[in-house]
Amino acid sequence: MMYNVKPYIHLFFITIMVVACMPCIFAQSGYRMWLDYRPLDNDLAIRYREQLRTLVFPITGETDSVAHAELLEALNGLLGHEPSHADTSNGPGILLVGSASTLPATGPVSEALALLPEHDDAYVIYSGVYGENPCTVILGGSDKGVLYGVYAFIASLQCGEDITQLSKVACPKIQLRLLNHWDNLDRTVERGYAGFSLWDWHRLPGYRDPRYTDYAKANASLGINGTVLNNVNANARILTQPYLEKAAALADIFRPYGIKVYLSARFSAPVELGGLADADPHNPAVQRWWKEKASEIYRHIPDFGGFLVKANSEGQPGPQNYDRNHADGANLLADALKPYGGVVMWRAFVYEDTEPEDRAKQAYNEFVPLDGQFRDNVIIQVKNGPIDFQPREPFHPLFGVMPQSQLMMEFQITQEYLGFATHLVYLGTLFSEVLQSDTHRHRPNSTVAQVIDGSMNPQPLTAIAGVANTGTAINWTGHPFAQANWYAYGRLAWDPDVDASAIAEDWLRQTFGNNDTFVHDVLPLMMRSREAAVNYMTPLGLHHLMGWDHHYGPGPWIKDKPRADWTSVYYHQADKDGIGFDRTAIGSDALGQYAPEVQAKFENPQTCPDEYLLWFHHLPWDFRMKSGRTLWDELCHRYYGGVETVAAIQATWAAQKNRVNNDTFQEVADLLAMQYEEAKIWRNACVLYFRQFSGMPIPDGLEHPEHPLEYYENLHVHVIPGI
Ligand code: BDP
């Protein structure tokens, strides 16, 4: 039978073209993030090929296998070449990868071993000599250290480093490095702006989406070693058998990558799931219920990490419902997990049902009296600032004041208060600013980083958490640059003292290719982006001015809500006499919760850094600022300056057209255009709103907002994700 192929011939070629283009569409989508192993510059690739001719990589388990596979994939992609394999060899260009128990401890391996810190996760990347020939050694403290070392080595190649001179010694300063997913069981994500939850609960455990493995790779490449799968506003059902089976499937996928699974536990689960009359920590039946639940969990997930708990906060149940305190609640769960080595991360983001005189003081007031009462497998999870992930907050006063307890950091990677996944805001600078803040709790330069890495007050458990910004978006995080925030968080979790700019530079090189001109232009843009957002949203220490409930866009006028501390007017306190929250001794005295040196830094408005001025002080509109301007004029200049920086960022990005792929270029350009318009809305709304109280004109030279205040008050954002 003869077929007429003519009608199909076009279809055939179209199919061929689509299939041929798929890898590039895929690459352009941003799915591979910083693990996009595109070919390096040819000269560099030739040099590396010579230096990496032979691979010695004994494989003894699953973690070795995944590290080995990743290394080969990277070498294939970056260098277009796969080294030959050998058991041991003495030729030129050898790469030896393994641990003390898998590599022969001779020559360069023993030299590397001498440098290796005593820690499972540690690694050394060492350029040595094998026989007569230069070689490279990646030596891990265990198979996990090997995996981390492999990823670090790949990053060195991506960044074009000279691999004949390497002597990198790395050891994490923080033990538990976690992502917190605020993912609900229906796959919505609270404060998630990148699509739905990655966890396909319906099809788990039967269908194991390959994306789970890619998620694990991205985390492992940064050293992230734990993930809390579900929202802190927890649904008790996560602790039922079907969900434990699903969580166990994820744990199995993540295990080779060194990642443990944790769950958010609802404190009232014994009532909801167990049918008990209460969840009182002193009730033996409740204690028994948690013990049995722990044993059931460990049957499913033998290396289960533990529980994250939000209790007595924003309506969540907790021990205070039964007149018990946070230590009673945390210890109840800690005792249940203890036999299995599990930990409880008990959140300090708490607030009473009654309105406090100053919400910023509450966590300190509730937790400091409990110092020393928590079990040794409890760690208190403290948000970076005392209110709630605002664009800028001073560090949380709990850091450094609970020497008998273990404290950990909670950062927010998802941009709830920083323009969602629409605004380009690099958070490495925010995270670093907090980590390097001096608590003065021990001696000068007792940084927040030293509290959480345990070097200030020794604590056996150290941990850090970042509220994830991931979702089903093809590029994982919505905004292409939001990937940098996941990356920066992971790098700082490993070493909170790394410079935010160095991290951003590595991310740019790994993500967009090793192009100096591009990095030269785009790095400063990233480094300015967070300050720009602070300026167009909440300059000079203002905070909590955002739209009601959804938290997108400005809402300085928000008032008359169920709680005063959920409104904006509570925080800015603008009236005809001035603006700002007086937290000095004559105000709420929240400042009194800090060390005397910190108090001294902030208590005098003449010397208080501008960045925190209105956080700590209520000042008259004509207060003379360090710049010589009145407070009102300075406020306006900050708002306008923030918008101008966004315009400058747009211009810089526009010049990158030929240096990034079209899709990413266009996506970032479009998002920056939105950001510019929204920054103007923030600026105009806030300046017009506050002008009602200051009664002063917008300074000369600054353009007048195009609409009256009512226009901005009546703007409605119609599609709001993540509520
Ligand atoms: C706030 C969020 C809310 C979270 C809460 C928390 O608006 O969605 O549940 O923090 O951290 O920032 O518990």
| Model pLDDT for residues 471-524, shown as the tens digit of each residue | 999 999 999 999 999 999 999 999 999 999 999 999 999 999 999 999 999 999
pLDDT(207) > 90: yes
Query: Which residues sit opposite 554 in a β-bridge?
Result: 546
3-state secondary structure of 546: strand
- With a 6 Å cutoff on the Cβ, whether 209 touches ligand 1 is no
pLDDT digits over 408-465, tens only? 999 999 999 999 999 999 999 999 999 999 999 988 899 999 999 999 999 999 999 9
If you take atom 9 of ligand 1, which residue's CA is the nearest one?
Answer: 233
Q: Answer whether 359 contacts ligand 1 (Cβ < 6 A).
A: no
Q: Across the chain, what does the average pLDDT equal? A: 95
Please state, in angstroms and rounded to a whole number, the distance separating the CA atoms of residues 394 and 609.
11
pLDDT digits (tens, 9 = 90+) for 313-351: 999 999 999 999 999 999 999 999 999 999 999 999 998
What b-and-e string marks burial along 551-590, b requiring 16 or more CB atoms within 10 Å of the CB? bbbbbbbbeeeeeebbbbbbbbbbeeebbbbbbbeebbeb
Question: Would the CB of 349 count as within 6 Å of ligand 1?
Answer: yes
Looking at ligand 1, which atom is closest to the CA of residue 231? Answer: 9
Q: Where are the alpha helices (DSSP H) in 52-92?
A: 62-79
Q: What is the C-alpha to C-alpha distance for residues 37 and 24, in angstroms, rounded to an integer? A: 12
Mean pLDDT along residues 108-128: 97
For residue 19, count CB atoms less than 10 angstroms from its CB and return exposed for 0-12, middle for 13-18, buried for 19 or more: exposed
Indicate which residue's Cα is closest to atom 1 of ligand 1.
Answer: 388
Q: Hey, what are 222's tokens?
A: 């940064």
Cα 557 to ligand 1 centroid, rounded to whole Å? 21
Residue to probe by mutation, ligand 1, list 180, 190, 345, 387, most atoms within 8 Å of CB:
190
Tell me what the mean pLDDT of segment 357-364 comes to: 94
φ, ψ of residue 420 to 5 degrees: the values are: 55, -145
Does residue 13 surpass a pLDDT of 90?
no
Ligand 1 site, residue 393, Cβ cutoff 6 A: no
Give the type of residue at 625: M
263 forms beta bridges with 307
CA dist 629 and 632 (Å) reads 8
pLDDT in tens, 531-553: 999 999 999 999 999 998 889 99
What pLDDT score does 7 carry?
43
How would you class 521 by CB atoms within 10 Å of its CB: exposed for 0-12, middle for 13-18, buried for 19 or more?
middle
Summarised one tens digit per residue, pLDDT across range 663-699 is 999 999 999 999 999 999 999 999 999 999 999 999 9
CA–CA separation, 87 vs 89, rounded Å?
A: 7
- Name beta bridge partners: 345: 308, 379
Please tell me if the CB atom of residue 68 comes closer than 6 angstroms to any atom of ligand 1.
no
Task: Name all domains of the chain by residue range, CATH numbers in brackets.
Answer: 11-170 (3.30.379.10), 176-512 (3.20.20.80), 535-581+618-713 (3.90.1330.10)
Which atom of ligand 1 lies at the shortest distance from residue 310's CA?
Answer: 13
This prediction has a pTM of 0.96
**Exposure of 407 in the CB half-sphere (CA atoms within 13 A):** 31
Crossing angle of helices 6-28/662-694, nearest 10°?
A: 50
Whole-number Å distance between alpha carbons of 334 and 345? 9
What's the pLDDT at 354? 77
φ/ψ (deg, to 5) at 137: -120, 130
CA distance 174 to 191: 26
Element (H, E) at 717: none
531 catalytically annotated: no
Q: Name the catalytic one among 416, 433, 453, 505.
A: 416
State yes or no: is 314 an active-site residue.
yes
Please give the number of the atom of ligand 1 that sits closest to the Cα of 467: 11
The C-alpha atoms of residue 570 and residue 561 are separated, in whole angstroms, by: 11
190 lines ligand 1 (CB under 6 A): yes
Catalytic residue status for 388:
yes
